[in-house]
Amino acid sequence: MNATLERWSTRRAFILAVTGAAVGLGNIWRFPYITGENGGAAFLVLYVVFVLLLGLPIMMAEILIGRAGRRSPVQSLGHLAALAGASRHWGLLGLFGAFTVFCILSFYSVVSGWSIEFFITAINGGFVGRNPAEIGAGFEAFLADPWRMTFNHTLFLFMTMTVVAAGVAKGLERLNNLLMPLLYLLLVLLAGYAATTDGFGTALSWLFRPDLAAITPMVVMHAMGHAFFTLAVGACALMAYGAYMPERQSLPHAAGAVALLDVGVALLAGIAIFSVVFSQGMDPGEGPGLMFVTLPIAFAELPWGALWLSVFFLLLLLATWTSSINLAEPMVATLQGRGLGRGRSAAIVGVLVWLMGLLSALSFSTLAEWRPLFGMSAFDLVTTIPTEIFLPVGGLLIAVFAAWVMPHREAQAALGVGEPGFRLWRTMVRWISIPLAALVLAAGLL
């Protein structure tokens, strides 16, 4: 582990790594379609509230545990529990996290694969001169093609696991650092273009004027799950990164910066996408295909549209690459913690995730009729349950561990702030985050 211990020798590098984990499909793909399915502004308000009251404080809890333990999640939890005289079984939480990211990475790789396909199509001018109906039909045909779906999933997962195995994530994060501002710029540009379309006004009021009557227990549950997902919190993945966090860095500052950027990217994507939706008279609740259908339409209207579209998908791919590397980390760290080499650990994780991912990749074709639970397809199940149940449960337990179980001194040192700051954080986690997460989970499950 020593070689990697130096990974994030600077504060900036740590923030970059966490931003790389946070910004990804959750912001640009998942946020718009989930918001669309849940009525817009009311969902958005809840999501922001959950980011502030749950996501941020628990993100700090999670990184703090890794930083205090300086080991793989399973070992950090076990070690700190022993220090506190608590049960060693807390280590199981690390395994639960590894199982959660296993499920998430399986579909994440498939959807990132869609970006590969769209990048290639865009660069070949495949969207030029297509009308919205044709673009929609093209996407449907792609989903229904088991071979192309599997090929792109395989390619993306291979890209991810190669970087993880070679331990060169740091290099990728640097590249990310260089190129992500361009992605943000493209989103600003798109949002600017959106402002000139007919749908812009409708999109804004739909996104920002909440209708409180639209709030149901399910909407609340979806918003909570998404807050965890987008911040990469609840599966011990940031805990694994926390183990490499440099000394003397304030965790609240780092976490705050990441959350701000993360929500900002989602809002820009939302504004751009919903302006297209309302300009074209489309359905905001279109589902997982929303981004893939609206963006080619939007870019088509811009000068050099085909070029920008391919650049956009390339950058999105880079963003999802660093996120999926983070998703792989808890699993790889767990195997490594048991004495396996990094390369072998990455290979095992890669094969298992690939197999699981086939269920998602084939959900739209070969397995379309297979509805194992609640009449939902494998893809619907794996994009819903791990995010909306496993992440909040994991986050809740992480919060309990950091705010109730861990010894005060270790926790405070790892948060990297003074006594008043620490007390503020702990009070918030103990009396707001934990009860709120428990309440929403209970309401949603009932």
Task: Give least dist CB 306 to ligand TRP, A.
Answer: 26
For ligand TRP, give the closer residue by CB, 14 or 278: 14
The answer to whether 238 and 66 have CB atoms below 8 angstroms apart is yes
Return the number of other C-beta atoms located less than 10 Å from residue 213's C-beta: 8
For ligand TRP, give the closer residue by CB, 306 or 318: 318
Identify the residue whose tokens are 């074209």. Answer: 280
The answer to whether 405 and 81 have CB atoms below 8 angstroms apart is yes
The amino acid at 376: M
Task: Provide the terminal-to-terminal Cα distance of the chain, rounded to the nearest Å.
Answer: 43
For ligand TRP, give the closer residue by CB, 328 or 367: 328
By CB atoms closer than 10 A (0-12, 13-18, 19+), residue 171 is exposed
For ligand TRP, give the closer residue by CB, 169 or 306: 169
Task: Give least dist CB 135 to ligand TRP, A.
Answer: 24
Task: Give least dist CB 191 to ligand TRP, A.
Answer: 19
Task: Give least dist CB 220 to ligand TRP, A.
Answer: 19
Site residues for ligand TRP per CB under 6 A: 21-22, 24-27, 101, 104, 229-230, 232, 235, 237, 323, 326-327, 391
Buried b (16+ CB within 10 A) or exposed e, 23-40: bbbbbbbbbbbbbbbbbb
For ligand TRP, give the closer residue by CB, 21 or 353: 21
By CB atoms closer than 10 A (0-12, 13-18, 19+), residue 406 is buried
Task: Give least dist CB 54 to ligand TRP, A.
Answer: 14
* DSSP state letters, 101-122: HHHHHHHHHHHHHHHHHHHHHH
Task: Give least dist CB 116 to ligand TRP, A.
Answer: 16
Identify the residue whose tokens are 């007919």. Answer: 198
Task: Give least dist CB 266 to ligand TRP, A.
Answer: 9
For ligand TRP, give the closer residue by CB, 300 or 356: 356
For ligand TRP, give the closer residue by CB, 27 or 197: 27
Name the residue number minimizing CB distance to ligand TRP: 26
